């Protein structure tokens, strides 16, 4: 595991956010700071860490790799998704 220098910072959370962070940290047996670091990594990764060209490359890499037992899935995917969430 790579050792990374930590930078101390301060954030303000609502009471509800703080409560949920404590619950999540306790459930995962990690510190609140670790939950914050994971959250930041996830948010940054979804919002700018990966450029558009890389996201396109990743999306195209999975095209055709999977098959469905439903012949009209490509045309009626919303219908099947609705049915799956309704279950």
Residues 14-30: pLDDT tens digits? 999 999 999 999 999 99
Q: Which long-range contacts (CB under 8 A, 24 or more apart) does 31-39 make?
A: 36/11
Q: Which residues contact 28 (CB under 8 A, 6 or more apart)?
A: 35
Q: Where are the domains of the chain?
A: 14-64
Give the pTM.
0.51
- Cα separation, 81 vs 18, in Å, equals 34
Render pLDDT for 42-85 as a digit per residue (tens, 0 to 9).
888 766 656 777 778 888 888 888 887 888 888 888 988 888 88
Among 32, 30, 28, CA closest to 17: 32
Task: Indicate the DSSP class of residue 65.
Answer: S
């Amino acid at each position: 595991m790579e050792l990374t220098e930590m930078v101390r910072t301060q954030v303000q959370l609502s009471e509800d956010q703080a409560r949920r962070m404590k619950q999540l940290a306790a459930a995962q047996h990690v510190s609140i700071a670790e939950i914050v670091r994971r959250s930041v990594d996830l948010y940054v990764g979804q919002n700018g860490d990966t450029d558009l060209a890389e996201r396109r490359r990743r999306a195209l890499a999975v095209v055709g790799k999977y098959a469905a037992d439903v012949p009209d899935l490509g045309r009626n995917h919303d219908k099947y998704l609705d049915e799956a969430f309704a279950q």
